[in-house]
Structure 1
Amino acid sequence: MARPGNNPKRRIAREGFLTDERKAELAVNARYGGSGHHKRNPADYGLERTNPRPTKSLCDALKVIRLEQASELMRRGISRGAVSELAYDGFPKFIWCVDEDGEVYEAKTDPSTLGVYHGYRLEEEDDLRDYVRDIWKQRCLSVGQ
Structure 2
Amino acid sequence: MAQRPGNNPKRRIVRPERLTEEEKAQLMRDVRYVGSGHHKRNPADYELPRANPRPTKSLCDLERTINLSEAQHLVATGIQCGLFSEPREDGFPKFIWSVSERGEVFEAKTDTHGTGEYHGYPLEDEDVMHEYVKSVWIERCQSAGQ
Q: Same fold (TM over 0.5)?
A: yes
Whether 2:60 is the aligned partner of 1:59: answer: yes
AA partner of residue 21 (structure 2): D
Counterparts in 2 of 1:65-144, with a 5 A limit?
65-112=66-113, 114-144=115-145
Cα offsets for 1:19-69 (capped at 9, x unmatched): 100110011110100000011110011111111111111111111011111
Deviation at 1:18, TM superposition (A): 1.4
Q: How many correspondences in the alignment? A: 140
Report % sequence identity.
58
Q: Is the partner of 1:124 in helix, strand or coil?
A: coil
Aligned to 1:12: 13
Does the aligned pair in 1 maintain the 2:125–2:131 contact within 8 Å? no
Does the aligned pair in 1 maintain the 2:94–2:109 contact within 8 Å? yes
Deviation at 1:142, TM superposition (A): 4.4
Structure 1 unaligned spans of 5+ = 1-5
Does the aligned pair in 2 maintain the 1:40–1:51 contact within 8 Å? yes
CA distance in 1, matches of 2:90, 2:65: 31
Change (3 A) 1:67 1:113: farther
Q: Is the partner of 2:120 in helix, strand or coil?
A: strand
The list of structure 1 runs, each at least 4 consecutive aligned residues, that deviate by more than 6 angstroms after superposition, is: none
**What's the RMSD between the two structures over aligned residues?**
1.5
Deviation at 1:111, TM superposition (A): 2.2
TM-score by length of 1: 0.90
AA partner of residue 124 (structure 1): D
TM-score by length of 2: 0.90
